[in-house]
Structure 1
Amino acid sequence: NEYRTVFMTEKTKLPEGYNEMEESNPAMKVLISRVEACVAAGKLQGDPRAIATMLWAVGHGTISLLITFPFYPFGDPQVFVKRMCDFTLATLSTQNVPPLTETPVNC
Protein backbone atom coordinates (compact mmCIF):
# COMPACT_ATOMS: atom_id res chain seq x y z
CA ASN A 1 0.00 0.00 0.00
CA GLU A 2 0.96 3.67 -0.08
CA TYR A 3 2.23 3.60 3.49
CA ARG A 4 4.77 0.87 2.72
CA THR A 5 5.86 2.78 -0.35
CA VAL A 6 6.48 5.94 1.65
CA PHE A 7 7.86 4.59 4.92
CA MET A 8 8.74 0.91 4.84
CA THR A 9 10.49 0.53 1.51
CA GLU A 10 13.49 -1.75 1.14
CA LYS A 11 16.81 0.08 1.32
CA THR A 12 17.57 -0.76 -2.29
CA LYS A 13 14.50 1.22 -3.36
CA LEU A 14 15.13 4.34 -1.30
CA PRO A 15 16.30 7.48 -3.08
CA GLU A 16 19.94 8.49 -2.95
CA GLY A 17 20.71 10.48 0.18
CA TYR A 18 18.22 8.61 2.38
CA ASN A 19 20.97 8.01 4.92
CA GLU A 20 21.23 11.76 5.53
CA MET A 21 17.78 11.90 7.10
CA GLU A 22 18.67 14.32 9.86
CA GLU A 23 20.27 16.86 7.56
CA SER A 24 17.67 16.73 4.79
CA ASN A 25 14.42 15.82 6.54
CA PRO A 26 12.54 18.89 7.78
CA ALA A 27 10.29 16.83 10.06
CA MET A 28 13.27 15.24 11.81
CA LYS A 29 14.91 18.66 12.16
CA VAL A 30 11.77 19.97 13.87
CA LEU A 31 11.55 16.93 16.16
CA ILE A 32 15.21 17.23 17.18
CA SER A 33 14.86 20.98 17.82
CA ARG A 34 11.78 20.41 20.01
CA VAL A 35 13.60 17.73 21.98
CA GLU A 36 16.62 20.05 22.34
CA ALA A 37 14.28 22.67 23.82
CA CYS A 38 12.90 20.08 26.27
CA VAL A 39 16.43 19.08 27.30
CA ALA A 40 17.41 22.75 27.74
CA ALA A 41 14.31 23.30 29.89
CA GLY A 42 15.15 20.27 32.06
CA LYS A 43 12.06 18.30 30.99
CA LEU A 44 14.16 15.55 29.36
CA GLN A 45 17.74 14.43 29.99
CA GLY A 46 20.24 13.01 27.57
CA ASP A 47 21.11 13.08 23.92
CA PRO A 48 18.46 14.98 21.90
CA ARG A 49 19.07 12.98 18.73
CA ALA A 50 18.68 9.68 20.58
CA ILE A 51 15.48 10.88 22.25
CA ALA A 52 14.09 12.18 18.94
CA THR A 53 14.90 8.88 17.25
CA MET A 54 13.13 6.95 20.01
CA LEU A 55 10.06 9.18 19.72
CA TRP A 56 10.10 8.73 15.94
CA ALA A 57 10.30 4.94 16.34
CA VAL A 58 7.40 4.85 18.80
CA GLY A 59 5.28 7.08 16.58
CA HIS A 60 6.11 5.09 13.48
CA GLY A 61 5.37 1.79 15.21
CA THR A 62 2.10 3.01 16.67
CA ILE A 63 0.82 4.31 13.34
CA SER A 64 2.04 1.16 11.55
CA LEU A 65 0.03 -1.02 13.92
CA LEU A 66 -3.10 1.10 13.55
CA ILE A 67 -2.86 0.84 9.76
CA THR A 68 -1.88 -2.83 9.60
CA PHE A 69 -4.32 -4.13 12.23
CA PRO A 70 -7.45 -1.96 11.99
CA PHE A 71 -9.51 -4.79 13.51
CA TYR A 72 -7.44 -4.91 16.74
CA PRO A 73 -9.26 -3.31 19.69
CA PHE A 74 -6.97 -0.29 20.14
CA GLY A 75 -9.99 1.90 20.84
CA ASP A 76 -10.16 5.37 19.38
CA PRO A 77 -7.00 5.78 17.25
CA GLN A 78 -6.36 9.38 18.33
CA VAL A 79 -6.73 8.47 21.99
CA PHE A 80 -4.39 5.50 21.51
CA VAL A 81 -1.74 7.66 19.82
CA LYS A 82 -1.97 10.23 22.62
CA ARG A 83 -1.62 7.50 25.26
CA MET A 84 1.47 6.14 23.51
CA CYS A 85 2.99 9.63 23.32
CA ASP A 86 2.18 10.38 26.96
CA PHE A 87 3.58 7.03 28.12
CA THR A 88 6.76 7.40 26.08
CA LEU A 89 7.42 10.95 27.24
CA ALA A 90 6.70 10.03 30.87
CA THR A 91 9.16 7.15 30.63
CA LEU A 92 11.82 9.20 28.85
CA SER A 93 11.48 11.98 31.44
CA THR A 94 12.80 9.56 34.09
CA GLN A 95 15.86 8.53 32.06
CA ASN A 96 19.17 10.08 31.08
CA VAL A 97 19.20 8.87 27.49
CA PRO A 98 22.70 8.19 26.11
CA PRO A 99 23.63 8.67 22.47
CA LEU A 100 22.55 5.79 20.26
CA THR A 101 26.18 4.82 19.70
CA GLU A 102 26.62 3.92 23.38
CA THR A 103 25.63 0.58 24.88
CA PRO A 104 22.89 0.95 27.52
CA VAL A 105 24.08 0.22 31.06
CA ASN A 106 21.54 -2.53 31.75
CA CYS A 107 22.24 -4.63 28.64
Structure 2
Amino acid sequence: TEKTKLPEGRSYEDMEEGNPAMKVLISRVEACVAAGKLKGDPRAIATMLWTVGHGTISLLITFPFYPFGDPEAYVKRMCNFMVASLSTQDIPPLTETPVDC
Protein backbone atom coordinates (compact mmCIF):
# COMPACT_ATOMS: atom_id res chain seq x y z
CA THR A 1 0.00 0.00 0.00
CA GLU A 2 0.98 3.63 -0.24
CA LYS A 3 1.63 3.82 3.52
CA THR A 4 4.27 1.07 3.38
CA LYS A 5 6.34 2.85 0.74
CA LEU A 6 9.22 5.08 1.75
CA PRO A 7 9.28 8.67 0.53
CA GLU A 8 11.13 9.16 -2.76
CA GLY A 9 14.89 8.97 -2.25
CA ARG A 10 14.71 7.68 1.34
CA SER A 11 15.92 4.34 2.66
CA TYR A 12 15.26 2.52 5.90
CA GLU A 13 18.91 3.10 6.78
CA ASP A 14 18.39 6.88 6.37
CA MET A 15 15.44 6.76 8.74
CA GLU A 16 17.39 4.73 11.31
CA GLU A 17 20.24 7.26 11.32
CA GLY A 18 17.81 9.81 12.76
CA ASN A 19 16.61 7.39 15.45
CA PRO A 20 19.57 5.98 17.42
CA ALA A 21 17.35 3.99 19.80
CA MET A 22 15.74 2.16 16.88
CA LYS A 23 19.17 1.55 15.38
CA VAL A 24 20.29 -0.15 18.61
CA LEU A 25 17.07 -2.18 18.79
CA ILE A 26 17.51 -3.42 15.21
CA SER A 27 21.13 -4.30 15.97
CA ARG A 28 20.07 -6.36 19.01
CA VAL A 29 17.34 -8.10 17.01
CA GLU A 30 19.87 -8.88 14.25
CA ALA A 31 22.05 -10.53 16.90
CA CYS A 32 19.07 -12.60 18.09
CA VAL A 33 18.30 -13.66 14.50
CA ALA A 34 21.97 -14.56 13.91
CA ALA A 35 21.96 -16.63 17.12
CA GLY A 36 18.82 -18.47 16.03
CA LYS A 37 16.68 -17.09 18.86
CA LEU A 38 14.36 -15.22 16.46
CA LYS A 39 13.56 -15.88 12.81
CA GLY A 40 12.64 -13.41 10.12
CA ASP A 41 13.15 -9.81 9.12
CA PRO A 42 15.03 -7.91 11.86
CA ARG A 43 13.41 -4.56 11.00
CA ALA A 44 9.93 -6.06 11.17
CA ILE A 45 10.70 -7.77 14.49
CA ALA A 46 12.22 -4.58 15.93
CA THR A 47 9.22 -2.54 14.81
CA MET A 48 6.82 -4.98 16.45
CA LEU A 49 8.79 -4.88 19.70
CA TRP A 50 8.89 -1.07 19.51
CA THR A 51 5.12 -0.97 19.01
CA VAL A 52 4.37 -3.21 21.98
CA GLY A 53 6.86 -1.36 24.19
CA HIS A 54 5.42 2.04 23.37
CA GLY A 55 1.85 0.80 23.69
CA THR A 56 2.50 -0.76 27.08
CA ILE A 57 4.18 2.35 28.48
CA SER A 58 1.52 4.60 26.97
CA LEU A 59 -1.26 2.65 28.67
CA LEU A 60 0.54 2.69 32.02
CA ILE A 61 0.92 6.47 31.78
CA THR A 62 -2.56 7.20 30.43
CA PHE A 63 -4.47 4.89 32.78
CA PRO A 64 -2.55 4.99 36.08
CA PHE A 65 -5.49 3.61 38.08
CA TYR A 66 -6.19 0.62 35.80
CA PRO A 67 -5.36 -2.61 37.68
CA PHE A 68 -2.20 -3.54 35.73
CA GLY A 69 -0.53 -4.58 38.97
CA ASP A 70 3.08 -3.60 39.53
CA PRO A 71 4.06 -1.47 36.49
CA GLU A 72 7.56 -2.93 36.21
CA ALA A 73 6.22 -6.49 36.41
CA TYR A 74 3.60 -5.66 33.79
CA VAL A 75 6.24 -4.30 31.39
CA LYS A 76 8.32 -7.46 31.88
CA ARG A 77 5.24 -9.62 31.31
CA MET A 78 4.45 -7.84 28.04
CA CYS A 79 8.07 -8.06 26.85
CA ASN A 80 8.23 -11.76 27.69
CA PHE A 81 4.91 -12.37 25.94
CA MET A 82 6.02 -10.58 22.78
CA VAL A 83 9.42 -12.30 22.58
CA ALA A 84 7.80 -15.70 23.20
CA SER A 85 5.26 -15.03 20.46
CA LEU A 86 7.87 -13.79 17.98
CA SER A 87 10.14 -16.77 18.68
CA THR A 88 7.50 -19.17 17.33
CA GLN A 89 7.16 -17.47 13.94
CA ASP A 90 9.15 -16.53 10.86
CA ILE A 91 8.41 -12.79 10.65
CA PRO A 92 8.19 -11.44 7.08
CA PRO A 93 9.16 -7.87 6.15
CA LEU A 94 6.48 -5.30 6.95
CA THR A 95 6.18 -4.48 3.26
CA GLU A 96 4.67 -7.94 2.66
CA THR A 97 1.03 -8.60 3.50
CA PRO A 98 0.79 -11.63 5.82
CA VAL A 99 -1.31 -14.48 4.42
CA ASP A 100 -3.47 -14.65 7.56
CA CYS A 101 -4.74 -11.05 7.35
What's the TM-score, normalizing by structure 2? 0.85
> Match for 1:34 among 16, 28, 40?
28
Considering only aligned residues, what root-mean-square deviation do their CA atoms show, in Å? 1.2
Spell out structure 1 runs of 4+ moving beyond 2 A.
none
Distance 2:85 2:49 in 1: 11
Match of 1:70 in 2: 64
- 1:2-13 matches, within 5 Å, as none
- Cα deviation 1:30-82 (Å, max 9, x = unaligned): 00000000000000000000000000000000000000000000000000000
User: Does 1:48 find its partner at 2:42?
Assistant: yes
Number of residue pairs aligned between Structure 1 and Structure 2 = 89
Match of 2:55 in 1: 61
Match of 2:90 in 1: 96
Distance 1:62-1:45 versus aligned 2 partners, 3 A rule: same
Structure 2 residues not aligned, in runs of 5+: 1-11
Structure 1 residues not aligned, in runs of 5+: 1-18
Structure scoring higher RCO (CA < 8 A, sep ≥ 6) equals 2
Q: Which amino acid aligns with 2:86?
A: L
SS at match of 1:57: helix
